[in-house]
Structure 1
Amino acid sequence: MRILHVAGEGLPFIKTGGLADVIGSLPKELARKGNDVRVVMPLYLKIAKNYHQDFTFEKEYAVYMKYDWVPVRLYSCFHDGVTYYFIEHQGYFEREDLYGYMDDGERFAYFQQAVVEMMNQVDFFPEVLHCHDWHTGMISAMIKENHRDDYRYASIKHVYTIHNMAYQGNFGADMLESCLGLPYYLLDNGTVRYDGGISFMKTAILYADKVTTVSPSYASEILTPQYGEHLEGVLQMRQYDLWGIVNGIDVETWNPANDPKIPYHFNKVNVKANKKKNKLALQEEMGLAQDENVMLVGCVSRLTWQKGFYLLMEQLPQLCAMPIQFVVLGSGEGALEEKMAQLEEGNKGKIVFYRGYNEDLAHKIYAACDLFLMPSLFEPCGISQLISMRYGTLPLVRETGGLRDTVTPYNEYDKSGNGFSFTNYNSGEMMHVLGNAVDVFYHHPNDWRTLVRNAMNTDVSWEKSANDYLRLYHELTGN
């Protein structure tokens, strides 16, 4: 099957969030199963600096933007069985950050125009065009409205994946015709209209043949006002075409048995001994008191309201009084960063905060910690809890979205489970479950070892999820 993924970012080339992990893993797994899989994304400044010398120049062509022809330079490379295309425009994409600019609507309108024409330029018309998040939301509309008489485009089946409802790509209506080449009657009849402007995500939901999101629970949650971000009515119209398929992780990159970023490798047999060695090494590196027997709790996350950090802020005295050490890696809201820095300052040797992101340190935290804290307000899927289980670090999560679908809470009677969880977004409830986890760690070590084994036996690979996507593709195409 010919499959083209379109995304705003993707590993191994660039990453700001979980979308990049999916693009780095799912296409590779689909290719491994014998499909012709290709990916296209913008050629950002950081990609150009690190990889441009490895790319092959493919084509130069132009798209019609703002009543003029704007050039496109297309590059490619082949990696892990997947062909990657990169859309180059220095003005639009060679900037320090990927998103967050006043002209984001124009930038990604150009990207989408370039992708649609790219298929013609390289003569690759996929059976399935799989678009991801708001950056690609107008592509299905552009193809169905502007190329309906071209059988090469008309035969394409369209899948659209929502990775996070909170980011929808809402822009002014003036760009509909000038940047996207779409007629204004789509605004008048309400198809693309949202809050006085246009919505990339709303448009994608309406035009795609199938809509997916990254866990079954999140697929149900976004049909409600609490999680639908004002698009729940549109999603309800498409609910019978809405699939929830949980993400996996790249189990080759995330493998404690041979991870080059951790000092001591381990598997299910020697996890107890070598986790303690990794713990001592991390404690020394981060300035924590060295004690192989203390419970080490980790968190690798964006410091935002979504990730549940305000629950922690409500319980700081109780958290500091617990017989645990706490290591946090991340950045985000200034107030949360400042509070975490103050927390470290007042609890030297017990709590440490690394502001920013460090990939090597992230691997060490997953390998060294006993418990991984993830009390999210909402979580479409989540990657960190999957990685932590792979490394024998038990996740403590709130039961929402993909966290509910992947983490089974500890049952003291039959010793089942692969982590801990709490139901309501409530700091007292979170601390109760954290206290239970601390009790199991110190007073029921056999139960803890069983949970670790259960976690490491959990299938967090892309194997099953890739098969689910293929089943969806085949259902769409009829082959």
Structure 2
Amino acid sequence: MASILMVASEGLPFIKTGGLADVIGSLPLALTEKGHEVKVVMPLYRKIAEKYMDELYFDCEYTVSINYQEVPVRVYSKMVDDVCFFFIQHQGYFERDTLYGYQDDGERFAYFQKAVIEMLNQLNYWPNIIHCHDWHTGMIPCMIKETHNNDSRYNAIRFVYTIHNLAFQGNFGPEMLDSCLGLPYYLLDNGNVRFDGGISFMKSGILYSDKITTVSPTYSQEILTSQYGEHLEAVLNMRKYDLWGIVNGIDIELWNPKTDPEIPYHFDKVNIKSEKLKNKLALQKELGLDENKDVMLVGCVSRLTWQKGFYLLMEQLDALCAAPIQLVILGSGEKQIEQKFRELENGNKGKICFYQGYNESLAHRIYAASDLFLMPSLFEPCGLSQLCSLRYGTLPLVRETGGLKDTVNAYNEYDKTGNGFSFEKYDSNDLIHTLYYAIDVYYNRKQDWDMLVTNALNSDVSWQNSAKTYCLLYDELLNQ
């Protein structure tokens, strides 16, 4: 069995901004259950320090060179179940209000990656595999292969690089190559790290890793095309025989309608009908919607951005308001989308509720209470919301892209199969047509609806199958 170090910019149970954190919170444990030794390393952000500092074990202290100066590094650790989490501390770089979005992000994560590489030496810890996640870690395989190639301990390490979202690439000016990364300029000249006049952490990760994965089989094919490739499709096509699409799972203990402490009424396959209705009535009361157990409740928990398909909804607000449904939207994002949903709620009190911001507890109650879950994404590498909705017997309505296509099977009225509803083209008319089709099934084909709910509850959204596939990947890598 392999010794694996996961390197990521965030992870549960410590900190989260997106789906990457869910993966880091669940996948390592699923792999340890299959016999692998898995450790994780991430930055020590302010929120982690404030909550956990007293529980962290101090491991070591050293320096790395950034901007031609020796910058101190302190490493701490904490066990969570059978997984050891390491934390790289630098108060100036990481103890800030938010995780990302700063002018010096390139420098911050260059420091993080350099600190991780030297941590192996300081702790005398030599994993078989370093598994890097997203752009924040993309330079690690390059730096080890280009600057530690005379050290047999580093040479023995194999690299897996996972793309969670190709749209975020870590592109920076070329001067960083020498000043922060300590890499020679010929890597610009030969094109290994050059991208759009500067350097790309993401491109480097793709080129220098031994295997590349992304978070669903369909997305792994989509990113080979100019439509989804974000100008990296040529690079990805060079590596397409080393590219694996492995769909994410969710933590089925955290997302469990039988035991979820965030929902008022617990349920399983046996009592879902009665208890889901109670959850619906409780949510309607909580959010000021008309209390009506018979109306179809449509939920949406999302970042409100162009990627998530909200411009399609903007084109169909009249049809949305006319539909015999209630709509609950939880999220924040682009100001014009937030403004539109505020106006929509103000004009449709009792029918539409918009909760601006993010509330994890409320998200659980929306999944548990809703009949239908809306997710009309323009693109979606994997998506976790549709997996959560399936877990709670809430039927997802999705566009057939990326992980949505891989996890949601459209209702087939002829052979009575499916666990949700889907449409193919990125077109607002197709979205509304599919929504009205779902409404018709809900009100007029109760037996079919109940069958779809049962299928949703029976969908395997755990990490088990995915962890098996990762094990196959690691085995292949170590046996090459």
> TM-score, with normalisation over the residues of structure 2?
0.99
Matched with 2:228 is 227
Overall identity of the aligned pairs, in %: 69
Residue 336 of structure 1 pairs with residue 337 of structure 2 = yes
Q: 1:360 is paired with a residue of what secondary structure?
A: helix
Matched with 1:419 is 420
CA distance in 1, matches of 2:160, 2:338: 38
Matched with 2:291 is 290
Matched with 1:211 is 212
Q: 2:87 is paired with a residue of what secondary structure?
A: strand
Deviation at 1:464, TM superposition (A): 0.4
Q: 2:184 is paired with a residue of what secondary structure?
A: coil
Matches within 5 A, 1:374-385: 374-385=375-386
Deviation at 1:465, TM superposition (A): 0.1
Q: 1:182 is paired with a residue of what secondary structure?
A: coil
Deviation per residue, 1:336-369 (Å, 9 max, x gap) = 0111111000000000000000000000000000
Deviation at 1:35, TM superposition (A): 1.4
Q: 2:405 is paired with a residue of what secondary structure?
A: helix
CA distance in 2, matches of 1:120, 1:408: 48
What residue identity is the alignment partner of 1:441? Y
Q: CA RMSD of the aligned region, Å?
A: 0.7
CA distance in 1, matches of 2:341, 2:83: 41
Matched with 1:359 is 360
Deviation at 1:80, TM superposition (A): 1.9
Query: Which consecutive residues of structure 2, in runs of 5 or more, have no partner in the other structure?
Result: none
Deviation at 1:279, TM superposition (A): 0.3
Residue 51 of structure 1 pairs with residue 52 of structure 2 = yes
CA distance in 2, matches of 1:448, 1:154: 56
CA distance in 1, matches of 2:120, 2:252: 32
Matched with 2:78 is 77
Deviation at 1:150, TM superposition (A): 1.0
Matched with 1:28 is 29
CA distance in 2, matches of 1:159, 1:253: 27
CA distance in 2, matches of 1:471, 1:210: 12
Matched with 2:184 is 183
Deviation per residue, 1:23-44 (Å, 9 max, x gap) = 0100011112221100000001
CA distance in 1, matches of 2:4, 2:449: 43
Residue 402 of structure 1 pairs with residue 407 of structure 2 = no
Matched with 1:89 is 90
Deviation at 1:122, TM superposition (A): 1.3
Deviation per residue, 1:120-141 (Å, 9 max, x gap) = 1111111111000000000000
Q: 1:361 is paired with a residue of what secondary structure?
A: helix
CA distance in 1, matches of 2:39, 2:294: 48
CA distance in 2, matches of 1:321, 1:52: 52
Q: 2:339 is paired with a residue of what secondary structure?
A: helix
CA distance in 1, matches of 2:97, 2:49: 12
What residue identity is the alignment partner of 1:171? F
Matched with 1:139 is 140
Deviation at 1:188, TM superposition (A): 1.1
> TM-score, with normalisation over the residues of structure 1?
0.99
CA distance in 2, matches of 1:70, 1:184: 22
Matched with 2:102 is 101
CA distance in 1, matches of 2:321, 2:53: 48
CA distance in 2, matches of 1:340, 1:9: 30
Residue 111 of structure 1 pairs with residue 107 of structure 2 = no
Matches within 5 A, 1:456-467: 456-467=457-468
CA distance in 1, matches of 2:125, 2:266: 43
Query: Which consecutive residues of structure 1, in runs of 5 or more, have no partner in the other structure?
Result: none
CA distance in 2, matches of 1:50, 1:362: 23
Deviation at 1:148, TM superposition (A): 1.1
CA distance in 2, matches of 1:174, 1:278: 56
What residue identity is the alignment partner of 2:391? R
Deviation at 1:378, TM superposition (A): 0.1
CA distance in 1, matches of 2:94, 2:302: 26
Aligned length: 479
Residue 433 of structure 1 pairs with residue 440 of structure 2 = no
Decide which moves more: 121-130 or 400-409.
121-130
